[in-house]
Amino acid sequence: MRSTNEKAKQFWSGEGGDFWVENQEELDVTLEPLGRAALTNIDLSSCASVLDIGCGTGRTTIEIAKKLAANGKATGLDISKPMLKKAKMHAQAEGVENVSFDCVDAQVESLGDAVFDAAFSRFGVMFFEDSMEAFSNIQGALKEDAPLSFVCWQSPASNPWHARAMEVVTQYIDIPRPPRRSPSPFAFEERDYVEEILVAAKFRKIEIMPFEKKIVWFNGKDPHRAASSYLSINPIVSEGLAALDDEGKEKILAGLANLFSLNQIDGQIMFDSATWIVSAIK
């Protein structure tokens, strides 16, 4: 097997995974309603085996496992060792036994042949070096007529939680925009590209629906602590920040804190979000 997704593996098993583990509870608050919207496309009560791609710290996999048919099992895959360790701890603490977590690259490693009744992902499928290869591999692991459903971000411009924060940051740091369609949170911003991938992977009945919702960011944190968290969650920003003097760092923190203060509702920092809810059938 050739070496693929090495940069992603290093990040998610390093500082990216560590940050997510440390901030897992607040990030789950942010993403839970978006994942739930995608999960409604799958009738979990009729499934005996479900694949959760890019499961992270396991919240979605555990919730899927709780809703499966009798003797059903949920399998969570990720490339982040620290996040999978946390996922296993969650399952054990909650006494959920019909779940497993494996460190597997869904693009190139074997997922089995026609073994899953459904596949799901909450923001876990935008980081493959070769998305068409990855979705072909996922398709092969699904049984005939099995559903696939996932949620991914629309464009940065449609997500002010990102766009407006980056306006503050880029006043002081030159942040290169990732090449179009390259592995990144916004790799699937183009609806046509997502459809192209799924058609190439031989999925049928493809639907790509816009979903807009106001979501909580940095749950439980005041604007100043939220600003610090925002600067830690993005590795490119962190690299640029390291080259700034203390005055520049303080200006960015102050600007972000002000932005987050302006977007507080009843003490919660809230922004509009725009995602695609994608569904298809093998």
Please state, in angstroms and rounded to a whole number, the distance separating the CA atoms of residues 172 and 62.
41
Domains by residue range for the chain, with CATH: 6-156+180-216+273-281 (3.40.50.150)
CA nearest to 65, candidates 77, 79, 54, 51: 51
Residue the block writes with tokens 């500082």: 15
Q: Decide which of 86 and 15 is more confident.
A: 86
CA nearest to 119, candidates 66, 56, 55, 58: 55
Determine the 3-state secondary structure of 103 from DSSP.
Answer: strand
| Residue-level pLDDT at 111 | 96
Average of per-residue pLDDT across 239-252: 87
Please state, in angstroms and rounded to a whole number, the distance separating the CA atoms of residues 61 and 35.
11
Tokens of 101: 């977590």
Give the pLDDT band of residue 235 (cuts 50, 70, 90). low
Assess contact for 212 and 282: CB atoms under 8 A: no
Average of per-residue pLDDT across 204-215: 98
pLDDT at 172 over 80: yes
| Percent above pLDDT 90 for the chain | 80
Average of per-residue pLDDT across 146-172: 96
Q: Indicate the range of 17-26, 167-176, 189-198, 268-277 predicted with least confidence.
A: 17-26
Please state, in angstroms and rounded to a whole number, the distance separating the CA atoms of residues 65 and 87.
13
Contacts for 234-239: CB closer than 8 Å, 24+ residues apart? 235/11, 235/15, 235/16, 236/175, 236/176, 237/169, 237/173, 237/175, 238/15
Assess contact for 271 and 219: CB atoms under 8 A: no
CA 236 to chain centre: 17
